[in-house]
Structures are given as C-alpha cells and as structure tokens.
Structure 1
Amino acid sequence: MASVLLDLVHLSTWAVCAVIKLPQLVAVLRAGSASGLSLSSLLMELAGHIVFLRYQIYYHYPLKTYLEYPIIIAQDVILIYCIMHFSGNAKRALVYALIYWGGWYMLTLEKWIIDLAMNVCTFISAASKLVQLQHLWQTKDSGQVSTLSWGMSVYTSSARIITTVMTTNDLAVLIRFIIMLILNIWVTATILHYRKTKKTG
C-alpha cells in the first residue's frame, strides 16, 4: 500500500511540474509584460534548483525523487529569458547562462562544496521567495504573477515532503521542502490578497 501511495505521489508531482510554469509563461506572453515578477527572485530560484538537482545526482538518490527538476529548470530558463526580453535585457541571458553552466561543474569538485552548497541553496531558494514577496509588497500589485503556478508549487512542496520521508529521509532535503512549502503558501496568499484588493479597489 505504501509503495502504491509513493508511486502516486511521484506521478502527480511529475505531472504538476511538467506544466508548473506554463500558466506564468502564458500570462507573461499574453500581456507582453512581466509586471509583478521579480527577475532576481527567479534567478535565485534557478540557482537553488540547479544546486538541488546536482546534490541529488551526486549522492545517487533515486531518479523518482528529483525527476521533475530538469523540467522545472527548463521552464525557469524560458521564463527568465521572456522577462529579460520584455525588459530589454535579453543580451544578459548569455552571461547568466555561462555563470550557471560553470557553477554546475564547480559544485562537485569536492564533496564539501556540494554539501555546503545544498545547505546554502535552501537559504537561496527561501530568499528567492522573500524577494518575490518584497516585490509584491512594494508594488501592491500582483500584475502577471500566476496564482495557479504558485498554487502548484504548494502542492509539489507538500508531495516532496512525503516522498523524502518515505525514501531518502535526508534531513537537509526535508528541511528545504518544509521551508519551501511555508513560503509558497505565503506568496500564494499574498498574490490572492492583492488580486482581491485590485478587484475591490
């Protein structure tokens, strides 16, 4: 029974993550604007995802526990490029790509580097959510920020807490997902608050 539940959670997580950024991409492309979105937040989020994926691969964790990350990373890259394009900074994309590519290889030069990076990446990922929150608080406008994408992030964080407990039981990974769950709920609630305020205003 437990293995069936685990498989269902894995499958649902992959399914959600396959489209997690699509509502956000559609909103940005339709509006031709990235208002409400923080580029800094997305760049930090991408860094956190890359470190997490590298950590899982380095320690040979089951593919099922991180299969969604290459998909999320690809979607983040496309979204970041769209934001840069609409803000007139598309030329910077190559610089960022080189930095992230170099970081991917440097992470596993020594075991202590990847272990330290994993602990730091939790703070980076948390900071990315806080930067998005700060952006929302400052502008008091959720703009093109997708409630659906953030809601799906709430689900995937919850699902990954379950799969981590049932498979690797890695404390660093578990702490990461708990923190991400709390912050994803907070961002989603903030988006909904400003959306409601805008409608009633």
Structure 2
Amino acid sequence: MGSGELLPLLVEVANWSTILACLVLKVPQGVAVIAAKSARGISLESLVLELSGFIVCLRYMSYYNNPLPSYVEYPIIIVQDVILLLFVLYYNGKMKDALYYTVIFVVGWYMLALQQWIINLAMNLSTVASALSKYAQLQYLWWTKDSGQVSALTWSLAVYTCLTRIFTTIMTSNDVTVLVRFIVMSVLNVWVLATILHYRKIVKKTD
C-alpha cells in the first residue's frame, strides 16, 4: 500500500476512532458521579467553559462547511456535557441555575452566526475559554488536593481525541485556528490527567 492510499486510510481511522471515543467520553465521569452521589472534585466553572468552547467549535465548523467527519463528535460531546452539567448542578444543590445556563447557550448559538467576524472572533476566544476551563479544573484540583470523582479515563480519552484531531486537521482543512486549539487542548488535557493521577496516587498511599 503506497503513501497515497495509506494517508486517507489513516485519516479515516482517526476520524472514526475519535467519534467512537467521544460516544463514551463523558460516560466514565457520569458513572463516577452517580455512583458516589457527589460531584466532588469537578469544577462547575471548568465544565461551563468547556461546554461553551464545544458549542462555538460546532457552530464554526458547520458555518464554514468543514467535512462532517472532522467535527461530528461535537454534538455528541455537547449532549454528554449538558447531562454531566445537570448532574453537577443537582449534586451541588444548584439545579435552579439550569434555566439560566440554557438561555445563555441558546441565545449564544444564534448570535454566533449573525456576522462572519463574530464567529471568527468567537472561535479564537473559544480556545482561550477552553484553556481556562482546563486551568479552572487544575486550580480546583490544586486547591482541594483531591481528584475526588474526576475520571482519569474521561481525561485520557480527551487527550486521545485532541491528538487525533491534530492529525485530521493537518490532513484535511489545515485550518490554523482549529489546529492551534487542538494543540493547546492536548497539552492542557495531559496536564490535568497527570494531576488527577498524582493526587489519586497520594490518596492511595495515605489509605
């Protein structure tokens, strides 16, 4: 098999493996929260910022008619993030805030596509927002020194999907804005994962 045939195959494998990973991306986290009946260790601010970033990315990709396989995981992750957000709000006793977040996200979805400069600016800002979401989770872990119900498997899958998206972006649209986003997210996801494993190791030693 020549390189001309191998590269499209690798892109296809990367696309489908990313989609499959995203189908269960937040499941381990949701299961951990339900089993413990607690959202301990999960930063609400991080989750909201992450969800905002995914919504902007989905709107951006669809606005510019990017290949569907390169972003089809976004609606899948968004649904899972919304469900996880509801769990976190419930266990934190803040379910009344659900309506507030719903209004913000719905209005934001429609406003993003009003002008091209808005969607472009939002996409650049979404990278910052997503980076801040990872930092918020890191800060929460540093503050509590306890990974609580934070799922290492969920963050491991997040690392994998970002790495595969770096590859597929280079091989398809080569969109610099999208590429920078995935590179930044990959680094921060690895950092969060390492921090989770670090505090989990400390807790095991203490036990």
Where on the TM-score scale, by shorter chain, does this alignment land: which range? over 0.9
1:177 paired with 2:177, answer no
User: Is residue 73 of structure 2 the alignment partner of residue 73 of structure 1?
Assistant: no
CA RMSD of aligned residues (A): 0.4
1:186 aligns with 2:191: yes
Structure 2 residue identity aligned to 1:130: Y
Q: Matched residue of 2:149: which SS? A: coil
Residue 53 of structure 1: aligned partner:
58
Query: Deviation per CA, 1:16-54, whole angstroms, max 9, x where unpaired?
Result: 000000000000000000000000000000000000000
Alignment partner of 1:63 out of 62, 68, 87: 68
- Residue 109 (structure 1) aligned with residue 114 (structure 2): yes
Aligned equivalents of 1:68 and 1:44: distance in 2?
18
TM-score of the two chains, using structure 2 as the length reference: 0.97
Equivalent in 24, 31, 46 of residue 36 of structure 2: 31
Identity across matched positions, percent: 56
Q: What's 2:103 paired with? A: 98
Q: Structure 1 residue 166: deviation in Å?
A: 0.3
The one-letter code sitting in structure 1 at the alignment partner of 2:27 is L
Deviation at 1:102, TM superposition (A): 0.2
Measure how far apart 1:94 and its partner are: 1.0
* Aligned-partner residue type, residue 31 of structure 1: A
How far apart are 1:2 and its partner, in Å?
1.0
Gaps of 5+ in 2: 1-5
In the other structure, the counterpart of 2:25 is 20
- Asked if residue 151 in structure 1 is aligned to residue 156 in structure 2, the reply is yes
Structure 1 gap segments, 5+ residues each: none
Superposition TM-score, scaled by structure 1 size: 0.99
Distance 2:132 2:97 in 1: 22
Whole-angstrom CA distance in 2 between matches of 1:154 and 1:88:
30
Runs of 4+ in 1 over 3 A off after TM superposition: none
| Total equivalences in the alignment | 201
